[in-house]
A and B are shown apart, each in its own frame.
Chain A
Amino acid sequence: MKKPITLLLVILLVKTGFAQIDPDLLRSPDRDSTRIKLNMDAVYDRPFLQAAKLPVALGGYAEANYQYLGTDGITEGHQFQMRRLTLFVSSSIAKRIKFLSELEFEDGTKEINIEFASVDFEFNPLLNLRGGIVMNPIGAFNQNHDGPKWEFVDRPISATQMLPATWSNVGFGVFGKKYLKNWVYAYEAYLTNGFDETIISNSENRTFLPASKANRDRFEESFNGAPLLTGKVALRNTKIGELGLSYMGGIYNKFQDDGLILDDKRRLNVFAIDFNTVLPKINTFINAEWAWVNVDIPETYTEQFGTKQQGGFIDLVQPIIKKPLFGFERAVLNAAIRLEYVDWNKGIFSSTGGNISDHIYSVVPALSFRPTPQTVIRLNYRYNWQTDLLGNPAAKLAGFQFGVSTYF
């Protein structure tokens, strides 16, 4: 009885072996993920693994970290976190039709999101049509957010706690680029589903655009039937750097239902500016983003929810050693620092005329080691000063973070 089973297992194993793809056929182009092109190219500027002539390519990245942080003497202790596991699938359907998707598992399987899943039709370099789940091009980080590209364990506070990165929606739009000598000009414009009333009605107790990310229905229906417009223009000079100006706006509240008027139409508007460059000779990489948020909130609601917000970050990354190290041919050791600021409520109290605070300053010095351009090991020290709405003495948070992130 044992003999037929053993034989069957051997046959199965042999067949499985033959069925496996010859690893030599897998092509993994060695991309330098630290050299950012235009931010809008980020979705394609990723390493993919392609099997022979198959039209489908696979990729992804993972991020894990350890941290020990404390606020005013109180700490949550030692924390190990699997922040993200992201899978990419891309396909060249025809010569000028591409499909790309990004599926993300955050904090293990606590959150599973389709962050990007769109088909691009190239009619002309200046006119491409994109449809599906798109990443709204507000600022630079929202589109260019892959962990291995950054020297910092945490994503920028302004990008994730004021702007809603990663912010994706179903919709359609156009984009294009024009190259002129050392210059590249680009634009993007999309109409998508948008935000909802949770941005001013949430457990964060402040105007909080990311609250709308919890609304899974936005991939199936618009909350209020009003589209969200997101547009961006960017230009890049190969010697100077890239500058982006972007806007996102639309009505966020349910102003009518079943034909009945429920409220006034209330808009939100977001403006952002982003810039990145590499200083010549010393090769310091500078990456910055600043955004302004403006939300129409009923005067009879609480001042806890601000009508104006602003914030941003600047990263300075200085390569210290750039040479073969430990057998890694293109290893780089960087020293970096991130400076951040967010004011969630720019305004004054009607009762006293005093300033409404609710803001945070943050400094994050960092060391990062890149054995290859696609992989980073990083050690950060974070220090935040966060002031509550009333402007009482700031709560101080600080501690070390250590993490790895790599494309695969």
Chain B
Amino acid sequence: MQNKFIVLSLIACLIIAGTSCEKTIPGAPEDDQILDGPIEGLTPEQNRIFLNGDVAFNGDVFSAANGLGPMFVANSCGSCHAGDGKGHPFTTLTRFGQSDTLGNKFLMQGGPQLQNRAIPGYQPEKIPAGATFSNFTPPANTGLGFFEAISDATIMAMADVNDANGDGISGRPNWITIPQYSELRPGTIVRNGKYIGRFGKKAAVYDLLQQTANAYNQDMGITSTYEHFSTYKNQDIEPEISNQKVLDVVFYLKTLKAPVQRDQNNPDVISGKQVFLNISCGKCHTPQLQTEPSSIAALSNKTFAPYTDFLLHDLGPALDDKYTEGTALTPEWRTPALWGLGLSKNSQGGEYHLLHDGRAKSIEQAVLMHGGEAEQSKNKFQQLPSSEKTKLLKFLESL
């Protein structure tokens, strides 16, 4: 009798285990709670390339054996962009050597990027005497394909170089020199041999291929056919990574989904957005943009909400590190996208590290550190009744 009971119990256990497999594993987080994952509508072929890029981005770890360094900032892409979100000060990088629009005078002394770590037996780089510098916390990767898919004309349409409308805000693009390997977008606008940059804290990067090849080279000390200069030897060396891998990562970055806003129907969030617009935050943090036709159909003609205008704005002396890139002035910064802002803590170790170098530890602090062209908006924010302020912050956290 007991044997039968044991047999039946064991069979029951096995049946329960076997038939409820899906229910025994932890559920996936809601789509609006995470930043990683592909955009909707990729083809099976594109899904494969996305997965290859995902493995390279989040799985590849470089060591001395496969090319790391010898001097470096991080040893994998994922080290700086956990969950494809904003980075932690632990992998904040330092750029140095350029203090005006005439270019970087410290290129032959290791500029523009400091490799502050080194594999055992080697010494890391140090900032040369006399060089100004700025620290950059890694940005989120989400929705970068949408950034790539807007036109230069769209960016130019938001510019107001001479503040013609007299609102105190005068966004302008960063005109940069681009690498030979960058492929020009349809409708690219050229001015005196320079192009509009749209990636990076200073908008000094033209496209995701430049961003990726540079990150391998400058952050990890990995050479490719695109960026073949060794940061250690300061001369050409063999590629340490294949073109295929670089292109897979570029595709991965292009096809990461846009962050999904949470609590969109919450009345406070809706009111908060109105406050955001009322105090003119939306003049730089543009709420809505439209992509152009793209070779990736899922990115074509899409309306998206990045809350950036891709333009440079003077944010005042407090945020002026006396370092710059391209034709940006030292107090000028490209408007950072606000989408995904509320999820930043989940990739920054549970705390906010906002603004270009992570100095702001809350959204409110970040707002209050704005100056220059944003001075008026900051003042309006300070004068808001606390209920309005709360709603505005709630809206920003929902992004």
Give residues 266-315 of B contacting A (CB, 8 Å).
none
A-side contacts of B24, CB under 8 Å? 68, 70, 381, 398-400
In contact, A298 and B120 (Cβ under 8 angstroms): yes
Give the contacts of B334-361 with A (CB-CB under 8 A): 346-351, 353
Given contacts A204-B61, A300-B123, A367-B13, contact A69 B6 (CB under 8 A): no
Which residues of chain B are near A402, meaning CB under 8 Å? 14, 17
Encode B90-124 as 1/0 by CB contact (under 8 A) with A: 10100000000000000000000000011111111
Cβ of B63 < 8 Å from any Cβ of A? yes
Asked whether A300 and B90 contact (CB < 8 A) given A203-B63, A391-B349, A392-B82, the answer is no
* Chain B CB within 8 A of A201 CB: yes
A residues 370-404 touching B (CB-CB < 8 Å)? 379, 381, 388-393, 396-400, 402
Residue numbers in A under 8 Å from B83 (CB-CB) = 392
Chain A binding surface, main DSSP class: loop
Of the candidates A204, A354, A390, A396, the one having the most CB atoms from chain B within 10 angstroms of its own CB is A390
A222 within 8 A of B: no
Chain A contributes a number of interface residues (CB within 8 A of B) equal to: 53
Question: Across the interface, which residues of B come within 8 angstroms of A379, CB to CB?
Answer: 13-14, 17
| Known contacts A201-B65, A300-B117, A304-B75; A399 and B346 CB within 8 A of each other | no
A346 to chain B, nearest CB (A): 15
Q: Which A residues between 342 and 376 are near B, CB-CB below 8 angstroms?
A: 349, 351-352, 354, 357, 367, 369
Pick the residue among B63, B92, B117 that contacts A201 (CB under 8 A): B63
Interface status of B26 (Cβ within 8 A of chain A): yes
Enumerate A77-107 residues with CB–CB distance to B below 8 Å. 78
Tell me the count of chain B residues lying within 8 A, CB to CB, of chain A.
47
Chain A, Cβ-Cβ closest to B116:
A300
- A302 in the interface, Cβ–Cβ < 8 Å? yes
CB distance from A217 to the nearest CB of B (A): 14
A393 with B346: CB separation less than 8 A:
yes
Given A300-B123, A354-B351, A321–B6 Cβ distance below 8 Å?
yes
A263-B120, A390-B90 known; 16 new pairs, CB 8 Å cut-off, are: A70-B26, A72-B27, A72-B29, A75-B22, A200-B120, A201-B64, A203-B61, A205-B61, A205-B75, A325-B6, A351-B92, A352-B90, A379-B14, A390-B348, A392-B83, A392-B349
| Subset of 27 A-B contacts with CB under 8 Å | A69-B25, A71-B25, A72-B26, A72-B27, A73-B27, A202-B63, A203-B63, A205-B61, A266-B120, A298-B118, A325-B6, A333-B6, A349-B89, A349-B90, A352-B353, A354-B349, A367-B13, A390-B88, A392-B82, A392-B347, A397-B25, A397-B26, A398-B24, A398-B26, A399-B21, A400-B21, A402-B17
The 10 residue pairs across chains A and B that have the minimum distance between CB atoms? A73-B28, A70-B25, A390-B349, A396-B26, A201-B63, A351-B89, A263-B121, A391-B349, A400-B17, A205-B61
